[in-house]
Every structure is written in C-alpha cells, then in structure tokens.
Structure 1
C-alpha cells in the first residue's frame, strides 16, 4: 500500500474519540472504497475488524449509509456485511441482502429464518438465489415475498416450491400470472394453475407468454372452456345440493363464507340452493338467474341475500369463463346502487309473478 494511505489509516485509528466515531467510520469506509479492490485477503480482513469496531455504537442512519456503500462490492469485508444483513432495521439490512455477492447461502438462510417479512422480501429480490434459500422464502414468506420469488427468474425453485406457488396463486391473480410465466414450470403444474384461475388471467398469460408457452396455454384454456360448456349444458339435478343445504341449515353452518366457497369451486347447484335458502325464494326462481346472460337479476338476488360485494362477485364469476376487469367494476358500481330493501321488494314481486297461474291459450 502507498505510504500516504497507511498514514491516513494510522491517523484514523489513533483518533477514535466517541464524538468523532461517525467521522472516523466514514473516513475508514472512504479509504476502503478507494483502495479495497487492490487489497489482499489479509488487508481486507484488517478493514473488516476495524469497521466492526466502529459500527457497534453507530445509529441506524450511519449503518444505512454504510450498507449502501458496501452492498454491491465483490470485495466487501464479509463480517461487516453479515452484521449489516442481520440488522433488525430493514433500511440497514435491505441493500446488503438484495445486492451483496459476498453473502453465502448459509448467511442468507440464517437471516431468512431469524428475521421478518421485510428481510425475506429483500432476499427474494437477489439476481440469483439457490434452491435451498428459495424454498425457505416460499415456506416463510407472505404474499409479497411469494410474488417476488415467482417473478424472479434467477431464483432456483424446486418442484415442491412450484407446487406451493401454484396452490397459493388460487385467489391471487398477480401471483398466478408471475408463476404461470416461469420457464421452469412443468406443463402439469401449468394446467393446474390454469384450472384454478379466472379467464382474465388466461388472457394475460397468453398475451405475455413466449410463443411456445402460448400454444400450450391456449390448448388447455380451450379444454377448460369445452368442459365448462358441457357442464352448463347437462341437466341440473339439484336434489343433492338441496339436501346438503338443508343439513348445513340444521347445523347452523349455512354462511356467506360457505356460499363463497361453493361459488369459488363453481358448484352451481349448491350456489342456487344456497341463494334460494338465503333469500327465501323458490329454487325455480333462482335457477334461471344463474343461466341467463344478463347479470342484473342475479345481482338483485345477491343483494336480497345481504351478501358482500366480494361474495356476489364470486357468484357472478362462477357462471362465466372470464370477464374483463372493466365490466367487473361496472357490476360493482351497479351492486352498490341496489339497496337491500329494494332488492327484497323486487324479489317479492318476482315471486308473486312466478306463483301466478298462467292463462290458458
């Protein structure tokens, strides 16, 4: 090392008064940034020890500043990087966890299993993540972590991890889209994902997928559409659904959540029987509302059952292959404008008309 560099370092070490600790830390850091790429292992280790001795009493702002300076360096001192990565403050740990090439898989696993979602989210943004660390992220991470992992092509994901992502994508359109576009997703799991998501996701996947994957997606979506059409065309036997609803009523288990579950699983007969029970309307009145193209009658029945919009939306979507987001928003606004009392009155009028005998001829 050059003489003036050694002299500067000696000056910093000899002047380590508490009131100059931050200034000394910055001085040592700047010296390391200026010369670190040319230092040998022993010299970097010396800086490692020296920086560690300074940061013990530093506040979060100082550590965040240090983290930002060292995070992306391939020659950064490893003990300092481990200390910063494990800091409970994500502002300190985040840059290092996302960018540092110095941290090993073991270092990342230690942080992943001992810190919270912010730290997991930072790790999931790394340009490359080995399978063990990725599996820990999937096992421990919440929605945001799963989404970032699914969209990270540099993350190596095992089959078990992909299974978890596919299962978690049910009800999460963004996760479904990111998972469905992964090049390492096996065809069987792609089919399962397509089975679990709505038509709007099918359209987005086909729009964004490469041509080879697009053909596979379209073929399976066509299969889903054909199966749905056949189900819609076959005669509906509501007896078993009515018996199920009667049992649920007896056990006080017929709830809005149960109706939402039926709708999510596209169990049309159970949806019809449940709506009839919740509104007090006869099944032959509710059944056509599930079949006709217009949605206003079904929206009225859902409001008469005093359902939340989220449940009503699931009921509407249970009978169609797909629906544009703009149309869903229009239906939401229409649903908000229907009052419970007006829906009950409309249903009562329909019941009277339904019960009125038709004139011959």
Structure 2
C-alpha cells in the first residue's frame, strides 16, 4: 500500500474539516491551539506553516467566540501561522482583529499599512498602540486614519515619528485643537514642531471666527484667566481628593487628567492637598500672569514636568509661547523641592496672598461702614 505524502495528508485533513460539524471544528481548533502554544522541542516555524491551511478552513466553520480565542492566543506567539494571522487581522469584527493587530509580530509592515487604510476606528487604534510600529505605518495612520488613532499614536511613547509624520500631524493640528494639545505635551516633540504649533495657534482661524467679530477679537490678545471655583465646588471636591491622596492615587496621572479636562475645583484642591498650602495660595498662583509661582506650587506638590506643563498649558485661553515654555522648564528643573515648599507655604508667595487678603477685607469693611 502506497503511503500518502505529508502534502496529501494535509489536503485530506482540510477537506475533512470542510465537512465536519461546527462543534467538532471548535474542538479541532482548540487542539491545534494547544499544540501551537505548548512548550516543547517541536520546530515552531514548521508547525505554524503546517497548521496554517487547516486553521484557515476551521475559521470558516466556527463561531465568533472561537475566533476571538484564536486571535488572542496567536497574538502572543513569536512564530504564528502567517496566513491565519493576516485573515484574523482583516476580520471586520474588531474583537477578533484587535488582539493580533495590537500584539502579533507575524504581521508585516505592508500588512499593517493595508489594514490601516481599510479598517475601522478600533482596528486603527489597536495598530497605533503597538509597541513596535514602523514609520510607514505611522504615516498611513496619520494621513488616512481616524483622529482617535492620531491621539493614540501621540500617546504611544514607543512610536517614533519621521519628519513626514510630523508634517502630516501639523496639517491635522490646523483643524483639531485636541491633537495640537496632545502633540505639544508629548515629551519628544522637536522644538521646531513646537514653534510651528505655537505660531499656528496664535493665528486666527477664518473658519471658526465670525466675520462680524474678527477685527474686534484680533486686537484683544490678552489671556483669559481661569474662572475660580465657588466654595460649594471646593466642598464637593475635597473629600474625594483627600481620599485619593490617602490611598496613593493622587498622582501625576490623576492631576494631569484634571488639568486636561478642565476640572478646576479638583485641580486646585489637588494642588492644595499635595503642596500643603491653603487654597487661596493655589488660586493666586493659578491666576497670576507670571508662571513662576505655579511652577513652584507644582514642584512643591512633587509633580513631574509633563504634569506641570499640562497645568500651565490649560490654565488660560492661550498657549505658552516657546520662550515661556523653556523658561518654565528651566525653573522647574533647577528649583529645589525644599525651596519650592517653603516659598509657597511660608515665603514671599504666601506673604503676598495674606497681604492681599487683609487688604481685601479692609476694603470690604470700609465699604460696609
């Protein structure tokens, strides 16, 4: 009796899978997954290619839940069946596609470029969040992807932008303030790009400024100070802020979120709790034209530079100029923690606030008389 070749055996197995019941296909799929993911002395590359055709057949016969399980398992394999991974990555259901799009090393740059240009928003976000992502894929996402993919890319510290990527991002920034803000806060954004962003932010946009008010607004460039929270807002914010501080969750990530979302009462209260200063001092440094006091308050609160920059960038209607940003960063990096804490609690800043408070009370008493 003539023995079948391995190729003939595989063809027979694929044909058998095409006609077997769905529940049996699911069991076969689970068995192949155990074979692929188990540790042993088997040649993984050969095994991956041998099982590829069978897995492609099985994918047509099993439920979505089994496909999600398959995608999740193959995503973490160093060597995985290549055709199966590409089929999963191109699946219209994001719950099936996203695990391999986010983690699989079996997808080539060309695969990712093609999928980025034809897939949905969640798939694009998964590609943008990859730990390893090549410049052509980054550029494809910036030029043709959803805005959420751009924001995920900017937040991905592993992504390295080419000059072409920065040019494409700058173009998107012209019509999107959120992308502009995210790019300005990214630690490795080059100074030349920062200058361009800041220059563009100062120019009035014809599509957003009504014609009747353009001339009047263009002559007024004064920054708008943040609106101070009322006593009730502070009273509402303080219990949560104190509780977060007690369990160690009042950190840079939390304070950064307060700043970006404009949660003023939470932000002011957090700075007060972290720095150990009265809320009046925080209000004073937040509304002062000079940023020195606010930089000291952030330093006294043990916040990092990125959180400090987020607070500085979101406290009023206009962004920091390039020179202001450099000055603020230099102050932050050279200030001693002890000096900052002493100054905002008992030094000149605290004294000025107390003096202005006494003057304000005296004026009120004079008026009442």
Q: Which of 86, 96, 99 in structure 1 is aligned with 2:90?
A: 86
Aligned residue in 1 for 2:347: none
Tell me how far 1:42 sits from its aligned partner: 2.4
**Alignment partner, residue 77 of structure 2:** 73
What is the match of residue 29 of structure 2?
Answer: 25
> Offset of 1:261 from its aligned partner?
7.2
Q: Give the whole-Å Cα distance in 1 for the aligned partners of 2:290 and 2:209.
A: 19
Report Cα offsets for 1:28-65 as digits up to 9, x if no partner: 21222114774243222112222222112222222111
Whether the 8 Å CA contact 1:84–1:93 is kept in 2: the answer is: yes
* Structure 1 position 67, deviation (Å): 0.6
Aligned to 1:43: 47
**Is residue 146–residue 175 contact of structure 1 (8 Å, CA) maintained in 2?**
yes
Higher relative contact order (CA 8 A, sep 6+): 2
Map of 1:242 onto structure 2: none
- Gaps spanning 5+ residues in structure 2: where? 1-9, 228-288, 292-311, 318-369
The DSSP-based 3-state class of the residue aligned with 2:209 is helix
- TM-fit CA distance, 1:144: 0.4
Question: Corresponding residue for 1:281?
Answer: none
Aligned-partner Cα distance in 2 for 1:292–1:125: 35
2:158 pairs with one of 154, 161, 169:
154
Map 1:149-298 → 2, pairs under 5 A: 149-170=153-174, 172-182=176-186, 184-197=188-201, 259-260=209-210, 269-271=215-217
Aligned mates of 2:129, 2:190 — CA distance in 1: 23
The Cα of 1:25 is off from its aligned counterpart by 1.0
Aligned-partner Cα distance in 1 for 2:181–2:102: 23
Give the superposed CA RMSD. Answer: 4.0
Cα drift, residue 72 of structure 1? 1.6
Q: Are positions 1:132 and 2:82 aligned together?
A: no
Deviation at 1:182, TM superposition (A): 4.1
In 2 relative to 1, CA 43–137 (structure 1 residues): closer, same or farther, beyond 3 Å? Answer: same
Larger radius of gyration: 1
* Separation (CA, whole Å) in 2 of partners of 1:47 and 1:292: 64
Q: Which of 48, 57, 62 is equivalent to 1:58?
A: 62
Rounded to whole Å, the distance in 2 between the matches of 1:196 and 1:258 is 14
> CA shift at 1:128, angstroms?
1.6
Distance in 2 (alpha carbons) for counterparts of 1:293 and 1:112: 40
In 2 relative to 1, CA 59–40 (structure 1 residues): closer, same or farther, beyond 3 Å?
closer
Q: CA, structure 1 residues 119+37, in 2 after alignment: closer, same or farther (shift >3 Å)?
A: farther
Q: Does the 8 Å contact 2:36/2:44 carry over to 1?
A: no
CA distance in 2, matches of 1:52, 1:74: 19
Unaligned runs of 5+ in 1: 1-9, 199-223, 225-255, 273-286, 297-319, 329-361
**Secondary structure at 1:156's aligned position in 2?**
coil
| 3-state DSSP of counterpart to 1:190 | helix
**Contact residue 36 and residue 44 of structure 1 kept, 8 A:** no
Shift of 1:169: 2.6
